[in-house]
């Protein structure tokens, strides 16, 4: 593990920006390696005491021992426990073929005095490369480990009378990591009452701005102009401007001819990608709105919080129907996105989260959509090898039934969440993703899940017969896998003047030694 030291100047800390410096000054991430974000539960039995009043309501029925601690989600629907974040790297072999394997490399432990995640919020810790490829970004909280219900806390200074959770007000945070393992964090007041899910740094063409997505509010409906409303949707945050929010755009189902409902929940976005200088987001959960794929702003022009009110619209050809109630197999639950080219889009579908539905859901897995010049069309869904609805075992994880649900603890794959990919020279595309699960757990986000990969024929428009997912890694007991992206590349040092050092040398009078002064962004 590379040793990291804190190097935050007081002025930076006041602005909401913190830094870490890699002591070795060596590149931490191997070029071309696959990076996977994860979180590990670090609570103990004493983290929660049976009978204690929980921040989201009700009293604890289980102590802090994993995984039974998450049975407390039954009395407290906001239940969660903050936990540390890790970035693990994998060297992939077999890209471009159906024989894929992974070799593990060093893991970067993100210091918990900077940022933590909420275990087991399954929508968190998406990884995205910056627009110039030099930084990875993700979101979390300014909170120590083992704090309860932080993911549904208010953000500081925000009045939200509809939020019943009594957890202390907590900043949401955006973390930026470079190729050397240096980390900087910017706070934001956005997503009060809920969580930030993903962030992308736009650092090309003179820009320096994070685009973030998440969910806002934990209770009643927000109204236009209030703090929960303006703190939701797509945000544009400037690195270092701590404690701010700048709404880039906001979607309302009235745009598609439906009566208004909970507008802040129409913007319950979680997946995000930037491609061809255009921003795309997904909504695939919640009890209202439209679960589909959206474009933010105009094609070929990334939006900005400095010039807000970008139009958010559904991509032509993608679903436009309201979320049904109750849900049923076959409903669209989009999560991660990957563009292989301008006319080929892969969409991860999480599944409906209902134990018993996974094996028969035709939409769950990896959907391939192609553009015909007018609209997007679904060609097929890759499912082979995911073993949807089939139990798997994790060493140390409970066997038998959860006493609260009377259903097996053993997880089953239900679909995919975050994804990334690479186009190969042989006309194929290799895609990587983390799985979603269903089980007898009260909170299925706490299930140990998997990292999977598949190689697809890029030009195929009907389901190929010989393509199948490979499981590259299974999370350990008390661990969850969340985001996936390729390693950031090292930034090119800026041109700099030569510093001349005049040194006396015995017998030679004076000599001039050149030392190059440069810095890595």
Q: What is the pLDDT of residues 457-495, one digit of tens each?
A: 999 999 999 999 999 999 999 999 999 999 999 987 654
**What is the structure's pLDDT at 39?**
98
Q: For residues 91 and 102, what is the distance between their CA atoms, to the nearest angstrom?
A: 5
Q: DSSP secondary structure string, 375-441? A: -EEEEEEE-TTS-BT-B---TTS--SEETTTTEESS-EEEEEEEEEEEE-TTSEEEEEEEEEEE-S-
Q: What is the pLDDT of residues 18-31, one digit of tens each?
A: 555 454 568 999 99
**pLDDT (tens digit per residue) in 303-339:** 988 888 899 999 999 999 999 754 455 689 999 999 9
Q: What pLDDT score does 140 carry?
A: 98
The whole-angstrom separation of Cα 58 and Cα 77 is 9
pLDDT tier for residue 160 given thresholds of 50, 70 and 90:
confident
pLDDT given for residue 10 in this prediction: 33
The pLDDT of 437-456, averaged and rounded, is 97
Share the mean pLDDT of the chain. 89
Which residues are 344's β-sheet partners? 341, 370
Residue in the structure block whose two tokens are 């590349």: 489
Do residues 231 and 190 make contact, with C-beta atoms less than 8 angstroms apart?
A: yes
| Token pair for 82 | 């903050």
**pLDDT at residue 506 greater than cutoff 80:** no
Q: Encode pLDDT of 381-426 as tens digits.
A: 999 999 999 999 999 999 999 999 999 999 999 999 999 999 999 9
Q: Domain range spanning residue 431?
A: 4-487+494-516
Q: In this predicted model, what pLDDT tens digit does every residue of 219-276 receive, in sequence order?
A: 777 777 777 888 999 999 999 988 888 999 889 999 999 999 888 889 999 999 999 9
Q: What is the dihedral sign for C-alpha 59, 62, 66, 67?
A: negative
Q: For residue 26, what pLDDT is reported?
A: 83
Lowest mean pLDDT among 99-103, 106-110, 289-293, 513-517: 513-517
Helix H, strand E, coil C: the string for 201-270 is: EECCCCCCEEEEEECCCCCCCCCCCCHHHHCCCEEEECCCCCCECCEEECCCHHHHCCCCCCHHHHCCCC
pLDDT at 517: 27
Tell me the per-residue pLDDT of 90-120, one tens digit each, with 9 for 90 and over.
Answer: 999 999 999 999 999 999 999 999 999 999 9
Give the per-residue pLDDT at 305. Answer: 83
How many structural domains comprise the chain? Answer: 1
11-20, 308-317, 429-438: range with lowest mean pLDDT: 11-20
Instruction: Give me the percent of the chain exceeding a pLDDT of 70.
Output: 88
pLDDT at position 297, please? 95
User: Which residues have a Cβ under 8 Å from the Cβ of 159 and sit 6 or more positions away?
Assistant: 227
The per-residue pLDDT for 519 is 28
In whole angstroms, give the CA distance from residue 438 to residue 444.
6
Task: Please report, for the domain that includes residue 208, its CATH number.
Answer: 2.130.10
Which pLDDT score is estimated for 493?
Answer: 64
Q: Is residue 383 part of a domain?
A: yes
Q: Which two tokens stand for residue 120?
A: 């087991």
Check if the beta carbon of residue 469 is closer than 8 Å to that of residue 385.
Answer: yes
* Residue at 521 is within a domain: no
Q: How far apart are CA 102 and CA 269, in angstroms?
A: 31
**Domain assignment of residue 199, yes or no:** yes
What CA–CA distance (Å, rounded) separates 289 from 265? Answer: 7
d(CA 202, CA 142): 23
Q: What is the pLDDT of residue 18?
A: 53
Task: Write the CB contacts of 312 (distance below 8 Å, at least 6 apart in sequence).
Answer: 233, 234, 249, 250, 251, 267, 281, 294, 295, 296, 297
Q: For residue 326, is the peptide bond before it cis, meaning its omega torsion is within 30 degrees of 0?
A: yes
Rg of the Cα trace of the chain?
23
Q: Does any domain span residue 351?
A: yes
Query: pTM for the complete prediction?
Result: 0.91
Distance CA 186, CA 22 (A): 19
Three-class DSSP category at 45: helix
CA 434, distance to chain mean position in Å, is 11
- The DSSP line for 313-353 is EEPTTS--SPPPSS--TT---EEEEEEEETTEEEEEE----
pLDDT tens track for 125-147: 999 999 999 999 999 999 999 99
Which residue from 120, 227, 123 is spatially nearest to 480, judged by alpha carbons?
120
Region of 515 (left: φ > 0; alpha: ψ -120 to 50; beta: rest) is beta
The 10 Å Cβ neighbour count of residue 339 is 18
Q: How far apart are CA 250 and CA 266, in angstroms?
A: 9
What is the predicted pLDDT for the residue at 311?
A: 94
- Phi/psi region, residue 406 (left: phi>0; alpha: psi -120 to 50; beta: rest), is left
């Amino acid at each position: 593990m590379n040793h990291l030291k804190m190097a935050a100047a007081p002025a930076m800390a006041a602005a909401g920006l913190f830094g870490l410096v890699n002591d070795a000054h060596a590149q931490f991430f191997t070029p071309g390696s696959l990076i996977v974000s994860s979180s590990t539960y670090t609570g103990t039995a004493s983290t929660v005491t049976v009978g204690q009043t929980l921040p989201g309501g009700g009293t604890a029925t289980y102590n802090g021992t994993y995984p039974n601690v998450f049975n407390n989600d039954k009395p407290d629907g906001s239940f969660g426990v903050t936990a540390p974040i890790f970035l693990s790297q994998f060297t992939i072999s077999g890209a471009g073929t159906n024989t894929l394997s992974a070799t593990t490399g060093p893991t970067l432990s993100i210091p918990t005095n900077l940022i933590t995640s909420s275990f087991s919020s399954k929508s968190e810790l998406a990884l995205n490369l910056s627009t110039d490829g030099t930084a990875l970004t993700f979101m979390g909280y300014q909170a120590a480990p083992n704090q309860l219900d932080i993911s549904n806390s208010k953000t500081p200074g925000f009045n939200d009378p509809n939020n019943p959770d009594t957890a202390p007000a907590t900043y949401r945070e955006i973390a930026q990591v470079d190729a050397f393992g240096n980390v900087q964090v910017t706070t934001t007041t956005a997503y009060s009452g809920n969580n930030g899910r993903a962030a992308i740094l736009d650092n090309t063409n003179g820009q320096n701005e994070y685009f973030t997505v998440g969910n806002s509010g934990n209770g009643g409906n927000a109204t236009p102009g209030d703090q929960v409303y303006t703190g939701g949707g797509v945000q544009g945050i400037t690195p270092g401007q701590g404690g701010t929010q700048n709404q880039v755009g906001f979607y309302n189902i009235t745009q598609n001819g439906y009566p208004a409902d909970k507008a802040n929940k129409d913007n319950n976005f979680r997946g995000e990608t930037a491609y061809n200088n255009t921003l795309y987001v997904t909504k695939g959960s919640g009890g209202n709105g439209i679960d589909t794929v959206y474009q933010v702003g105009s094609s070929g022009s990334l939006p900005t919080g400095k010039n807000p009110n970008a139009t958010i619209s559904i991509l032509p050809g993608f679903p436009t129907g309201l979320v049904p109630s109750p849900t049923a197999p076959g409903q669209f639950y989009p999560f991660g996105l990957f563009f292989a080219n301008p006319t080929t889009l892969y969409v991860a579908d999480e599944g409906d989260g209902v134990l018993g539905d996974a094996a028969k859901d035709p939409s769950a897995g990896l959907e391939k959509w192609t553009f015909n010049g007018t609209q997007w069309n679904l060609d097929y869904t890759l499912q082979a090898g995911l073993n949807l609805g089939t139990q798997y075992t994790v060493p140390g994880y409970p066997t038998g039934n959860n006493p609260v649900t009377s259903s097996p603890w053993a997880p089953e794959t239900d679909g995919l969440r975050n994804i990334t990919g690479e186009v190969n020279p042989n006309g194929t595309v290799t895609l990587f993703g983390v799985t979603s699960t269903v089980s007898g757990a009260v909170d299925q986000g706490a299930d140990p899940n998997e990292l999977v990969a598949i190689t697809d024929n890029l030009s195929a428009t009907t389901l190929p017969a010989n393509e199948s997912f490979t499981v590259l890694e299974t999370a350990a007991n008390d661990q969850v896998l969340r985001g996936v992206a390729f390693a950031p590349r090292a930034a090119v040092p800026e041109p700099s003047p030569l510093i001349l050092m005049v040194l006396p040398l015995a017998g030679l009078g004076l000599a001039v030694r050149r030392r190059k002064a440069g810095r890595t962004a």
